Chains A and B, each alone.
Chain A
Amino acid sequence: MYAYLILIPFFSVIILNLPFRTTMKKAAFWACLVLLLAQMCLVVFSAIFPGCSFFDIFKTLFKLDFTADNLSRVLLFSIALILCVTLLVQKSILGDKERIFNFVNMLLIILVGMNGIVMVRDIFSLYVFLEITAVSSFILIGFNQDLDAFEAAFKYIILSVIATALMLSSIAIILLLAGDTSFSAIASTVRLSPHRLLISLAVGIFLCACFIKAGLMPFHGWLPDVYSAAPTSVSVLLAGIATKTVGVYTLIRIVNSVFVLDRSLQHLLLALGAVSMIAGALAALGQRDLKRMLAYSSISQVGYIVLGLGAATPLGLAGAIFHVFNHAVFKSLLFVDSAAVELETGTVQMDKLSGLAKRMPVTGFTSVLASLSCAGIPPLAGFWSKLIIVIALWASGHYAYAMLAVLASLLTLAYLLTMQRKIFFGKLGQDMAEIEEAGPVLMLPALILAVITVGVGLLFPFVSILLKGNLLGG
């Protein structure tokens, strides 16, 4: 059944580009939106009724081995949600039909890539889909043909290719020992093989590649440039879900279902997570550009996720996955608000903005909600995932890291409140008097994301029951 999540977007790209392009151009936007909503419904449906597989005709024709467990489902839902938001943001920024059409095509391809990453069970196919996602993000970053965006894209290409070269060398070492590339074969080889040194080498190389792709702190060089130079809609996509799927999901999947998380690896994850969390937050404090600040904040939040993973307990893992979802929601919300600010005022430099909350009430209100969720203030969604991560760290005996996580939360609150005070509160600037609230197409996704943040936070007991099921089973 899950193969449809790959096949339908793939065939819709082909159909959209068949001869009747003029009618297709009008339909493209709505088709993409419907497709994404359908994916969300399908994921929720399959989570409520597991084991119900309909329309399995394709299994007889092709041997496309796609499956989804609960971890994949969380990611599939977030992917569809954030792509919807991206599409709406792009629609409100850009009126040109032709360019929207190209954007929709790229969005469908990146959807195929990310769905593939989440659902494959073979390490080389994982690489193939990673590359599809990476190539389409290169193109999307350069979508507006700005010099800054091109330069950021070039930086990203260099680092991304180095990361994939590392990943492929790791795959080659695994192939030498296991003779196969499926997750199950590798997992049994890793557990049974006597060649500990080679296996540690392969695992280390692969993790390095994941760290580069996720933008963890010593490997983060490309990330702030890309997030701040890319078109804002693409920043929503990259910060919200693309980097998380490419780097963080791969890391979680590989560490949990393929390789064994041994002691030294666990310490590496904890140390890198803590470094990114603290250094990312400190770097965010010093930024003047709103988008760049959000990028450093993203690095810091990825640090939390990796810390949760490094706790190496089911609770820590649950916290990490929950935080991936929450981060997707509140970080995209912040980027949507920055898109609104940029669209209305023409700048995202924090020094030039002030008192916007009076002129843009919805943007101001939703960004306050997102900031509070990001900083982990109860009862918003971000609070619960951070709480789970801290509890997991404490329970597994990593007291210092738990303290650091709480400290980083205060830093997060500090830089986000500074941002709020500069942009939305205070006196309205003289030249800001004519600013108006952004249009409904841009405010709709912001409101939806805000409702999700508040709703998930308030309904957490119910969500926790959903999460309690074996996250990696199924």
Chain B
Amino acid sequence: MSNGVLGVLWPFSLFIIMLSVVGLYCVLVTRNLIRALIGLELLFKAVTLLLVTVGYVTYHAALAQALVITLIVIEVVVMTVAVGVVLGIRSYNESLDTRRIRNLKG
């Protein structure tokens, strides 16, 4: 195995870790429901990039692509349902502020 291909792995993983930190930070810190969903999307992006990178490094690009396509389809459906739930909350609250979610204690 050439070192060139493997050399790609670490810099990419570094950026993937940072991208997922950005996404996670957004989910945890934000007070807006839509922005929380955008943070989740960033998490999905990081995972997509990770799968594609692994496929490239191991010469399994075809398998990785098959997985990524499935992942993208699922991602869209999850986001659609999540937006449906957000709109449902909005129809009661007229706001998208997570601080209004106080009915539940956790």
- Kindly supply a per-residue 1/0 record for chain B positions 10-25, scoring 1 wherever the CB is within 8 Å of any chain A CB and 0 otherwise: 0000000000100010
Contact B77 A135 (CB under 8 A): yes
Judge whether A395 is part of the interface by a CB distance below 8 angstroms.
no
Q: Which of B33, B46, B84, B85 has the most CB of A within 10 A?
A: B85
Contact B47 A179 (CB under 8 A): no
- Kindly supply a per-residue 1/0 record for chain A positions 28-42, scoring 1 wherever the CB is within 8 Å of any chain B CB and 0 otherwise: 000000000000000
Judge whether A145 is part of the interface by a CB distance below 8 angstroms.
yes
**Closest A residue by C-beta to B49:** A172
For the complex, give the distance between the alpha carbons of A124 and B60 in Å: 15
Name the contact of A131 in the complex, choosing from B63, B64, B78, B105 (C-beta under 8 A). Answer: B78
Please give, as numbers and ranges, the residues of chain B lying within 8 Å of A153 by CB-CB distance: 85
Name the contact of A150 in the complex, choosing from B40, B60, B89 (C-beta under 8 A). Answer: B89
For the complex, give the distance between the alpha carbons of A172 and B92 in Å: 40
Judge whether B38 is part of the interface by a CB distance below 8 angstroms.
no
* Interface segment out of the listed A221-229, A245-253, A341-349, A466-474: A221-229
Judge whether B58 is part of the interface by a CB distance below 8 angstroms.
yes
Chain B at the A interface: mostly helix, strand, loop or mixed? helix
For the complex, give the distance between the alpha carbons of A181 and B33 in Å: 34
Contact B40 A175 (CB under 8 A): no
Contact B64 A175 (CB under 8 A): yes
- Kindly supply a per-residue 1/0 record for chain B positions 70-103, scoring 1 wherever the CB is within 8 Å of any chain A CB and 0 otherwise: 1100100110011011101100110000000101
Question: Knowing A145-B88, A176-B58 touch, does A157 contact B81 (C-beta < 8 A)?
Answer: yes
- Nearest chain A CB to B3 CB, angstrom units: 16
For chain A, give the interface size range: 35 or more
Name the contact of B55 in the complex, choosing from A139, A154, A169, A175 (C-beta under 8 A). Answer: A175
Judge whether A147 is part of the interface by a CB distance below 8 angstroms.
yes
Question: Knowing A157-B81, A165-B20 touch, does A147 contact B104 (C-beta < 8 A)?
Answer: no
Name the contact of A179 in the complex, choosing from B44, B60, B106 (C-beta under 8 A). Answer: B60
**Closest A residue by C-beta to B86:** A154
Name the contact of B50 in the complex, choosing from A135, A138, A172 (C-beta under 8 A). Answer: A172
Contact B33 A154 (CB under 8 A): yes
Contact B60 A154 (CB under 8 A): no
**Closest B residue by C-beta to A151:** B101
**Closest A residue by C-beta to B47:** A168
Please give, as numbers and ranges, the residues of chain B lying within 8 Å of A151 by CB-CB distance: 89, 101, 103-104
For the complex, give the distance between the alpha carbons of A145 and B71 in Å: 28
Judge whether A128 is part of the interface by a CB distance below 8 angstroms.
yes
Chain A at the B interface: mostly helix, strand, loop or mixed? helix
For the complex, give the distance between the alpha carbons of A151 and B40 in Å: 17
Contact B36 A175 (CB under 8 A): no
For the complex, give the distance between the alpha carbons of A179 and B59 in Å: 9
Contact B50 A169 (CB under 8 A): yes
Contact B46 A165 (CB under 8 A): yes
- Kindly supply a per-residue 1/0 record for chain A positions 109-144, scoring 1 wherever the CB is within 8 Å of any chain B CB and 0 otherwise: 000000000000000100010010011001100100
Please give, as numbers and ranges, the residues of chain B lying within 8 Å of A152 by CB-CB distance: 104
Judge whether A162 is part of the interface by a CB distance below 8 angstroms.
yes
Q: Which of A170-221 contact B (CB under 8 A)?
A: 171-173, 175-176, 179-181, 221
Judge whether A148 is part of the interface by a CB distance below 8 angstroms.
yes
Judge whether A358 is part of the interface by a CB distance below 8 angstroms.
no
For the complex, give the distance between the alpha carbons of A176 and B55 in Å: 8
Please give, as numbers and ranges, the residues of chain B lying within 8 Å of A157 by CB-CB distance: 40, 78, 81-82, 85
Please give, as numbers and ranges, the residues of chain B lying within 8 Å of A421 by CB-CB distance: none
Please give, as numbers and ranges, the residues of chain A lying within 8 Å of B70 by CB-CB distance: 124, 128
**Closest A residue by C-beta to B55:** A175
Name the contact of B104 in the complex, choosing from A124, A131, A142, A229 (C-beta under 8 A). Answer: A229
Contact B92 A147 (CB under 8 A): yes
Contact A155 B104 (CB under 8 A): yes
**Closest A residue by C-beta to B41:** A161
- Nearest chain B CB to A111 CB, angstrom units: 18
**Closest A residue by C-beta to B101:** A151
Question: Knowing A135-B77, A155-B104, A175-B55 touch, does A150 contact B43 (C-beta < 8 A)?
Answer: no
Please give, as numbers and ranges, the residues of chain A lying within 8 Å of B82 by CB-CB distance: 138, 154, 157
Contact B77 A225 (CB under 8 A): no
Question: Knowing A151-B101, A154-B82, A154-B89 touch, does A175 contact B46 (C-beta < 8 A)?
Answer: no
Contact A172 B54 (CB under 8 A): yes
- Nearest chain B CB to A245 CB, angstrom units: 18
For the complex, give the distance between the alpha carbons of A225 and B47 in Å: 28
Please give, as numbers and ranges, the residues of chain A lying within 8 Å of B101 by CB-CB distance: 151, 154-155
Contact A131 B44 (CB under 8 A): no
Please give, as numbers and ranges, the residues of chain B lying within 8 Å of A175 by CB-CB distance: 51, 54-55, 58, 60, 63-64, 67
Judge whether A94 is part of the interface by a CB distance below 8 angstroms.
no
Question: Knowing A128-B70, A157-B78 touch, does A165 contact B58 (C-beta < 8 A)?
Answer: no
- Nearest chain B CB to A336 CB, angstrom units: 24
For the complex, give the distance between the alpha carbons of A176 and B57 in Å: 8
Between A and B, 19 residue pairs with Cβ closer than 8 Å are: A124-B67, A135-B81, A142-B85, A145-B88, A148-B104, A150-B85, A151-B89, A151-B104, A157-B81, A161-B44, A162-B24, A162-B27, A162-B43, A165-B20, A172-B47, A172-B50, A175-B58, A175-B63, A179-B58
List 7 other contacts, CB 8 Å, given A151-B101, A151-B104, A179-B58: A128-B70, A138-B82, A147-B92, A151-B89, A158-B27, A161-B43, A175-B60
| For the complex of A and B, 6 pairs with smallest distance between CB atoms | A225-B104, A150-B88, A147-B92, A168-B47, A165-B43, A172-B50
